[in-house]
């Protein structure tokens, strides 16, 4: 099967729509979302409804969890917390209920593990080889050698070969049986790698290969919606910078 793996849509309808068009062209068999369907941008209902309509296999992200009321955004920065409260006021009750049904981790078709942050913690970030090594240990406990994670909004692959962990930023990564992999597709709705294009990956389990993709979308339209909705202007500006 060919899986499109996405993360951190963050209520960005234009980016999600562009991704779905590309996914159709690539003829992927299944789309998996690693969490944070909502937050930051101005189209939470439309994004949740597209996820439901397209039967995307989705996880609960830390923003989804706050919007759903499982936690309060007391540890979020101002812009992130503001967007949580705004989203709570804008989102339909049935879409809140959908978010509440989402799991925090998934094993997909016995092929790979899917998480939002750390393997055992939705809110923690995997930044660098030390964090990756700790998560490789957690993957071993879960009997998984391939895990896709989100949350950082930066595409990257960590590879564990014996006791060595290396970081790759290549366009494609071959999945070898004797190694373990932690791979982030980047963000659909709010990239943070200084590239404003929406980012995702495709995992082909027959070819044992992961390929990263970047696609353009109408950033101006998304940014204008943020301003019109009364969300912080900084959220609109950072989209244009890929940060």
Q: pLDDT tens-digit profile of 208-217?
A: 999 999 999 9
pLDDT per residue over 94-130, tens digit each? 999 999 999 999 999 999 999 999 999 999 999 999 9
pLDDT at 184: 98
CATH numeric code, 2-241:
3.60.21.10
Query: With helix as H, strand as E and coil as C, how does the chain read?
Result: CEEEEECCCCCCHHHHHHHHHHHHHHCCCEEEECCCCCCCCCCHHHHHHHHHHCCCEECCCHHHHHHCCCCCCCCCCHHHHHHHHHHHHHCCHHHHHHHHHCCCEEEECCCEEEECCECCECCCCCCHHHHHHHHHHHHHHCCCCEEECCCCCCCEEEEEECCEEEEECCCEEECCCCCEEEEECCCCCCCCCCCCCEEEEEEECCCCEEEEEEECCCHHHHHHHHHHHCCCHHHHHHHHHCC
Q: What is the pLDDT of residue 143?
A: 94
Percent of the chain with pLDDT over 70: 100
Q: Decide: pTM greater than 0.85.
A: yes
- Looking at residue 189, its pLDDT comes to 98
Q: Which residues of the chain have pLDDT under 70?
A: none
Model pLDDT, residue 170: 85
Q: What angle do CA 168, 170, 174 make, to 5 degrees?
A: 85
**Residue whose entry in the numeric block shows the structure tokens 């849509």:** 9
Q: How far apart are alpha carbons 203 and 181 in whole angstroms?
A: 12
Q: Are 66 and 38 in contact (CB under 8 A)?
A: no
The residues spanned by each domain of the chain are 2-241
Question: Phi and psi of 68, rounded to 5°?
Answer: -75, -10
Report the pLDDT value the prediction gives residue 169, as an integer from 0 to 100: 82
Relative to beta strand 209-215, strand 2-6 is: unpaired
**Distance in angstroms (rounded) separating the CA atoms of residues 24 and 192:** 25
């Amino acid at each position: 099967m060919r899986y499109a793996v996405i993360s951190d849509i963050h209520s960005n309808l234009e980016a999600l729509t562009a991704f779905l068009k590309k996914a159709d062209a690539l003829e992927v068999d299944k789309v998996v979302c690693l969490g944070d369907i909502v937050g930051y941008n101005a189209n939470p209902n439309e994004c949740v409804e597209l996820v439901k309509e397209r039967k995307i296999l989705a996880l609960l992200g830390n923003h989804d969890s706050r919007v759903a009321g499982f936690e309060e955004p007391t540890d979020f920065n101002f812009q992130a917390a503001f967007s949580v409260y705004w989203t709570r006021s804008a989102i339909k009750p049935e879409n809140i209920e959908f978010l509440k049904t989402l799991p925090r981790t998934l094993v997909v078709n016995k092929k790979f593990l899917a998480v939002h942050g750390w393997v055992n913690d939705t809110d923690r970030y995997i930044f660098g080889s030390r964090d990756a090594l700790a998560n490789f240990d957690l993957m071993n406990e879960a009997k998984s050698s391939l895990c896709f994670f989100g949350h950082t909004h930066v595409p990257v692959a960590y590879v564990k070969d014996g006791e060595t962990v290396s970081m790759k930023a290549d366009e494609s990564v071959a999945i070898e049986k004797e190694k373990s992999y932690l791979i982030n597709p980047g963000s659909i709705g709010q990239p943070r790698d200084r590239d404003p294009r929406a980012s995702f990956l495709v995992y082909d389990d027959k070819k044992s290969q992961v390929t990263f993709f970047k696609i353009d979308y109408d950033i101006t339209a998304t940014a204008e919606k943020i301003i019109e909705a009364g969300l912080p202007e900084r959220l609109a500006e950072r989209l244009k910078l890929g940060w």
